[in-house]
């Protein structure tokens, strides 16, 4: 039964003139693959619906469907064990998978034959994966990841894993909490929480909490929180190796990194090694907080750096044998490794080439500092342990907290603790720094933040230089029509805390039975990223508090709202028909279809008004007929029952009678 639940649209949205000459419907998207699943035909307009564990198991083996579109319609808990993921080296997954903000849990991906390309997805190429979570266990040899074993030319967004990942059993490489190996791929707002272990009888290289190996790939607003343990080279809390031309921004790692095998190198709290050869490779506005225990070329942020590091920091303790730094173990001159506007605070312990900021510098260091205790046997320095043709400009270390006096560094200037907390020290070096905080300055300084040492302004959305009472903010939650969701709003939050956004069943409903599908926030026009309608925060997502914020619900409503536009100009004669719910001009008809009845609903065979001398050819998603076409009386697409869109507008297409 249809009922009026919500109405919208007006005659002012009508097209400027009568559409003529559309004599036939544009071809509908051809069904993809063979299915069957719980619904859909695999086309982008009507993706296959994955609703059960059986659907997942079918998808894993249906190689002919791996170029199709899929949507997850709800959380799935399964006890299945897969010997391969979705997509293999022989047949890649090249389609799309929209998780809808839901999670697959309980799945085990394991093969006793120590297979490569292991993950929920085994091997993807030119695929799009978003809004999916995965909790389970993944075990393999090389190219092993919680979500994807190997990703080429793949886009992944708003997705997460809480997976125990084990790889390298037969000396395989590329093991990550989310992706084992990524090539020319893009990741935004993705994260991993499970532990990652690279085993191997000899070594397991390229191991990271999020990505094992990131080749020419970009990672933004992403993080890893699990511990990483390996016995090889190129190991990082977030990424094992960031390759030539890649970039990391707005990201962090908080888990520990541990490598105990002798004669290994490139171990870092965030990234094992940053490579720059032919293309610029960047790491910016990122940090690492976990302890790092490695062997050679070991840093709190990066083990070995050939790229451009800026506005980043590390606070965890670092322990290794040689080339050991609080921020970077070896700042390499291969492509003039550069460190700018960055700092380290952790204790640094090693045997040779041990520095509070950098173990050995062959590149460039500018406007950076360190304060951690430095404990080394040879070539130890408050800021730089050893210099080999590098350059250091207006950079400092704390002579009291480091245990190394002025002059005991192969680069930089030693300052007392009092001087390191005095803005004039840095103003004298022409730093972009203000007393307090300013979004227009690189650095801020005040007693209340970072123990009084300079802090990076980019990590704060508002002035953090306030007392603890003033550091409390308010999160407010709204309906799209501007009403506040008073059952859950407002919420008082504290700067720096991780806050869990209200979940799918939160009392912020646009109608009875509606669910929370996501949350959007006010953002500048043209902004692309998390918090936009295209990429909302998912229900239950954790966010870091930095200021007060307004969240507007993205609802998933149990009733679809349809506007059926007669699609004639205001200057055209159009005789009213017997349509029921219409606007004043009698050119827009409104209809409401419960999602449970989508399979029974039919489009009308007439519009709200009828232009003389024309026949209704069909209904189109675009006013000019270039969109998806439906015949009069046709059924609604089955995908509309679960698609996140709540409101559709269809336009009448006419042809001369």
d(CA 495, CA 485): 23
Residue 19 has pLDDT above 50, yes or no: no
| Cis status of the peptide bond prior to 627, with omega within 30 of 0 | no
Q: What is the average pLDDT score of the chain?
A: 90
Contacts with 312 (C-beta within 8 Å, 6 or more apart), sequence order: 270, 283, 284, 285, 286, 287, 301, 327, 342, 456
CA angle 296, 301, 303 (to 5 degrees): 25
Residue 107 has pLDDT above 60, yes or no: yes
* Over residues 30-34, mean pLDDT: 81
Q: Identify the pLDDT of residue 264.
A: 93
Q: Identify the pLDDT of residue 525.
A: 86
Q: Identify the pLDDT of residue 335.
A: 64
Per residue in 266-312, pLDDT (tens digit) is 999 999 999 998 889 999 999 999 999 999 999 999 999 999 999 99
Task: Record the pTM.
Answer: 0.76
Residue 234 has pLDDT above 60, yes or no: yes
HEC string of 561-599 equals EEEEECCCCCCCCEEECCCCCECCCCCEEEEEEEHHHCC
Q: Identify the pLDDT of residue 585.
A: 83
Residues above pLDDT 90, as percent of the chain? 76
* Over residues 432-447, mean pLDDT: 96
Per residue in 534-568, pLDDT (tens digit) is 888 888 888 888 889 999 999 999 999 999 999 98
CATH classification for the domain delimited by 472-556, as one of 3.40.50, 2.60.40, 3.30.43, 1.10.10: 2.60.40
Q: Which residue pairs from 488-496 have beta carbons closer than 8 angstroms and sit at least 24 positions apart in sequence?
A: 493/545, 494/545, 495/464, 495/471, 495/545, 495/546, 495/547, 496/471, 496/544, 496/545, 496/546
Residue 8 has pLDDT above 60, yes or no: no
Residue pair 208/243 in contact by the 8 Å Cβ criterion = no
User: What would you report as the CA-atom Rg of the chain, rounded to the nearest whole angstrom?
Assistant: 29
Residue that the structure tokens 């929180």 belong to: 225
Q: Identify the pLDDT of residue 12.
A: 27
d(CA 115, CA 144): 9
Residue pair 211/179 in contact by the 8 Å Cβ criterion = yes
| Cis status of the peptide bond prior to 159, with omega within 30 of 0 | no
Residue 13 has pLDDT above 50, yes or no: no
Per residue in 241-262, pLDDT (tens digit) is 999 899 999 999 999 999 988 8
Range from 189-203, 312-326, 351-365 carrying the lowest mean pLDDT: 189-203
Q: Identify the pLDDT of residue 277.
A: 87
Provide the token pair at 334. 């291969």
Entry field: residues in the chain: 657
Range from 50-59, 84-93, 194-203 carrying the lowest mean pLDDT: 194-203
How does DSSP classify residue 536? P
Residue pair 335/304 in contact by the 8 Å Cβ criterion = no
Confidence tier at 466 by pLDDT (50, 70, 90): confident
* Over residues 515-534, mean pLDDT: 87
Residue 25 has pLDDT above 50, yes or no: no
Torsion, Cα 193 195 196 197, to 10 degrees, reads 180
Q: Identify the pLDDT of residue 17.
A: 30
Contacts with 450 (C-beta within 8 Å, 6 or more apart), sequence order: none
Confidence tier at 643 by pLDDT (50, 70, 90): confident
* Over residues 477-496, mean pLDDT: 91
d(CA 234, CA 294): 10
Q: Identify the pLDDT of residue 547.
A: 85
d(CA 314, CA 300): 5
> Which helix (H) or strand (E) is 56 found in, with range?
helix 53-61
Residue 29 has pLDDT above 50, yes or no: no
Q: Identify the pLDDT of residue 384.
A: 98
Confidence tier at 315 by pLDDT (50, 70, 90): very high
Residue 641 has pLDDT above 80, yes or no: yes
Range from 24-38, 92-106, 508-522, 592-606 carrying the lowest mean pLDDT: 24-38
Residue that the structure tokens 């039964």 belong to: 1
d(CA 3, CA 580): 12
Residue pair 231/261 in contact by the 8 Å Cβ criterion = yes
Residue pair 290/256 in contact by the 8 Å Cβ criterion = yes
Q: Identify the pLDDT of residue 266.
A: 97
Contacts with 524 (C-beta within 8 Å, 6 or more apart), sequence order: none
d(CA 395, CA 26): 65
């Amino acid at each position: 039964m249809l009922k009026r639940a919500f109405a919208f649209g007006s005659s002012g949205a009508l097209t400027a003139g009568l559409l003529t000459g559309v004599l036939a419907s544009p071809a509908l998207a051809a069904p993809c693959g063979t299915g069957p699943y719980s619904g859909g035909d695999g086309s982008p307009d009507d993706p296959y619906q994955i609703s059960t564990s059986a659907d997942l198991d079918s998808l894993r083996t249906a190689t002919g469907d791996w170029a199709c579109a899929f949507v997850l319609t709800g959380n799935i808990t399964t006890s299945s064990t897969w010997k391969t993921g979705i997509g293999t080296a022989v047949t890649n997954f090249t389609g799309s998978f929209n998780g809808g903000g839901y999670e697959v849990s309980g799945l085990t991906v394991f093969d006793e034959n120590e297979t490569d390309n292991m993950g929920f997805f085994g091997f993807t190429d030119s695929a799009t994966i978003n809004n999916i979570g995965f909790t389970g266990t993944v075990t393999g040899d090389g190219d092993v990841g919680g979500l994807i074993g190997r990703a080429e030319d793949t886009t992944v967004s708003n997705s997460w894993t809480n997976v125990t990942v084990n790889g390298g059993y037969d000396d395989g490489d590329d093991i990550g909490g989310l992706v084992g190996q990524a090539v020319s791929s893009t990741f935004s707002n993705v994260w991993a929480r499970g532990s990652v272990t690279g085993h191997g009888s000899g070594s397991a290289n390229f191991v990271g909490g999020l990505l094992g190996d990131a080749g020419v790939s970009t990672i933004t607003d992403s993080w890893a929180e699990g511990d990483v343990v390996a016995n090889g080279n190129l190991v990082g809390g977030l990424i094992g190796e960031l390759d030539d031309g890649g970039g990391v921004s707005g990201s962090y790692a908080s888990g520990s990194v541990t490598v105990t095998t002798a004669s290994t190198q490139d171990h870092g709290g965030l990234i094992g090694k940053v490579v720059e050869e032919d293309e610029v490779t960047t790491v910016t506005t990122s940090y690492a907080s976990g302890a790092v225990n490695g062997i050679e070329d070991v840093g709190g942020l990066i083990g070995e750096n050939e790229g451009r590091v800026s506005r980043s920091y590390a606070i965890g303790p670092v322990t290794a044998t040689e080339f050991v730094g609080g921020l970077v173990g070896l700042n390499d001159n291969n492509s003039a490794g550069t460190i700018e506007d960055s700092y380290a605070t952790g204790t640094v312990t090693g045997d040779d080439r041990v520095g509070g900021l950098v173990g050995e510098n062959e590149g460039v260091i500018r406007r950076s500092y360190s304060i951690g205790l430095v404990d080394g046997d040879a070539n130890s320095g408050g800021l730089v342990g050893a210099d080999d043709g590098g350059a250091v400009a207006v950079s400092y270390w704390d002579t009291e907290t480091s245990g190394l006096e002025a002059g005991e560094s192969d680069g930089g200037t030693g300052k007392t603790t009092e001087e390191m907390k005095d803005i004039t020290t840095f103003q004298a070096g022409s730093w972009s720094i203000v007393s307090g905080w300013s979004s227009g300055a690189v650095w801020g300084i005040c007693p209340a933040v970072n123990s009084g040492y300079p802090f990076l302004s980019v990590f704060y959305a508002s002035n953090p230089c306030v007392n603890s009472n003033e550091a409390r903010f308010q999160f407010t939650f709204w309906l799209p029509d501007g009403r506040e969701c008073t059952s859950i709003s407002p919420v008082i939050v504290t700067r720096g805390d991780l806050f869990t956004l209200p979940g799918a069943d939160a009392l912020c409903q646009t109608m009875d039975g509606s669910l929370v599908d996501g949350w959007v926030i006010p953002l500048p026009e043209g902004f692309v990223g998390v918090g936009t309608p295209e990429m909302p925060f998912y229900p239950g997502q954790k966010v870091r508090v930095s200021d007060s914020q307004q969240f507007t619900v993205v609802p998933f409503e149990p009733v679809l709202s349809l506007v059926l536009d007669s699609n004639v100009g205001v200057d055209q004669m159009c005789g009213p028909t017997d349509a029921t719910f219409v606007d004043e001009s009698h050119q827009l008809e409104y209809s409401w279809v419960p999602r449970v009845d989508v399979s029974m609903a039919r489009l009308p065979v007439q519009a709200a008004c009828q232009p003389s001398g024309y026949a209704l050819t069909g209904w189109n998603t675009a006013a000019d007929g270039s969109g998806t076409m439906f015949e009069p009386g046709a059924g609604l697409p089955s995908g509309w029952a679960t698609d996140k869109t709540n409101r559709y507008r269809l336009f009448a297409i006419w042809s001369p009678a």
